[in-house]
Structure 1
Amino acid sequence: MAIINKVTVGPSTVLFPVPTVLVTSGLAGSNPNIITIAWTGVMNSEPPVVYVGVRPEGRHSHRLIKESGEYVINIPSAAQARVVDYCGTVSGRHVDKFKETGLTPVPASHVKAPLIAECPVNLECKVRQVVSLGSHDVFIADVLAVHYSESVLNEKGRPDLDKIKPYGYCLNEYRLMSDKLGSFGYSRKE
């Protein structure tokens, strides 16, 4: 058996990469906001349940999501990396991020928060539970609808990752997830 030297660094969030998404939220009578989120993921398949983690202190979107009970997860493509980074570095309390970035808000079908037209995938979400964990509150939500840009669907009407070009966030960098290693179950096929 090989001896592998390891260095222990203590507890940390080193699951990488994590998805990079733009989350939209809003209240009646106010401008909708966009926040860049990397703490997001799937919690359940049936029914579809997702989450976003948002810092409660000083985050404009935290208040909007908490008060409205809804949000939209917008999955950007690699072409939108600069906009994604920008939306994570300025507060919507002081800046209209839709105006500043040129992104287009589109009415959603089930929630008041808008979709981002330029993002190839959008998930409309209704908050079912909020869990305070320390640095972040986790907004657990039911997925009410998913929207795909027609341009990212294959001939069978399914999403094509090569067309979407999703990317992740790890170690303070945005990284493409592009090389296919195999399909589910490939290790059992001869």
Structure 2
Amino acid sequence: MKQSWKPGNMLYPLPVVLVTCRHENIDNVFTVAWTGTICTNPAMVYISVRPERYSYELIKKSKVFTINLTTKKLVKAVDFCGVRSGRQVNKFEAMQLECQEAQTINCPILKDSPVNIECKVNDILELGSHHMFIATVTNVQVDENCLEENGRLALEKSDPIVYSHGEYYDLNQVLGSFGYSVRKKKKKK
């Protein structure tokens, strides 16, 4: 038996990321769980942000932001940066987040993030409670500690986290790999 609920967003778990932004001499970092891929070629992503958020105007004016993937090591900062406003506190200092400059946009990236996705805003869709920033990926920086010898990204080495219904979870078990359900089994010799 299933219950019928009112319309709502039930796509969980979600990636939870720290988004960094800059306008003129103001830098900020905030937590976003409403983010994802739009297109492969050209590489495009989105973040959905409430207009009342401090970073909304910074991104709207600068037209750039960076998506910083998160890890178990960053989980306290993820939570803090989602419940505190940059209007009142410097979240970089409060959470001791080290930054460096992005390579293709005027924006900070987080050093402790295993993957930093530099983005240039193409469009802003005003959808209701959230506005969607649609962006082209201009560069991706990857921590070499997350690479295997053959160059494959092994993000699992960084202990990534996700968000689901108000809680943060780690990802600690591989259940299968892409195509495993149809892959032919190797014959035993």
TM category (shorter chain) comes to: over 0.9
CA distance in 2, matches of 1:93, 1:111: 23
Alignment of 1:37-116 (within 5 A): 37-57=32-52, 59-116=53-110
Equivalence for 1:12 = 8
Q: Deviations over 1:32-57 (max 9, x none)?
A: 10000000000101111000010002
For 2:158 and 2:131, the matched residues in 1 are separated by 29
Shift of 1:23: 0.1
- 2:23 pairs with 1:27: yes
Check conservation: 2:114, 2:155, Cα contact below 8 A. Answer: no
> Distance between the aligned counterparts of 2:150 and 2:55, measured in 1?
36
Counterparts of 2:163 and 2:71 in 1: how far apart (Å)?
Answer: 13
For 1:188, what is the secondary structure of its paired residue? coil
Aligned partner of 1:36 among 31, 38, 51: 31
Task: Give the paired residue count.
Answer: 184
Q: Give 1:40's aligned amino acid.
A: T
Identity of aligned residues (%): 42
Indicate the SS of the match to 1:124: strand
Q: For the residues of structure 1 that align with 2:104 and 2:87, how far apart are their CA atoms? A: 25
| TM-score, structure 2 normalization | 0.94
Residue identity matched to 2:4: T
Q: Report how far residue 29 of structure 1 moved.
A: 2.2
Displacement of 1:162: 2.2
Shift of 1:69: 0.3
Distance in 1 of aligned mates of 2:78 and 2:135: 22
SS in 2 for 1:8: coil
Q: Secondary structure at the match of 2:162?
A: strand
In 2, the alpha carbon distance for the partners of 1:122 and 1:76 equals 10
Cα offsets for 1:135-160 (capped at 9, x unmatched)? 10000100000001111111112221
Q: Per-residue deviation at 1:161?
A: 2.6
Alignment TM-score, normalising by the size of structure 1? 0.94
Per-residue deviation, residues 107-141 of structure 1 (Å, max 9, x unmatched): 11111110101111100000011101111000010
- The 4+ residue runs of structure 1 with deviation greater than 6 A are none
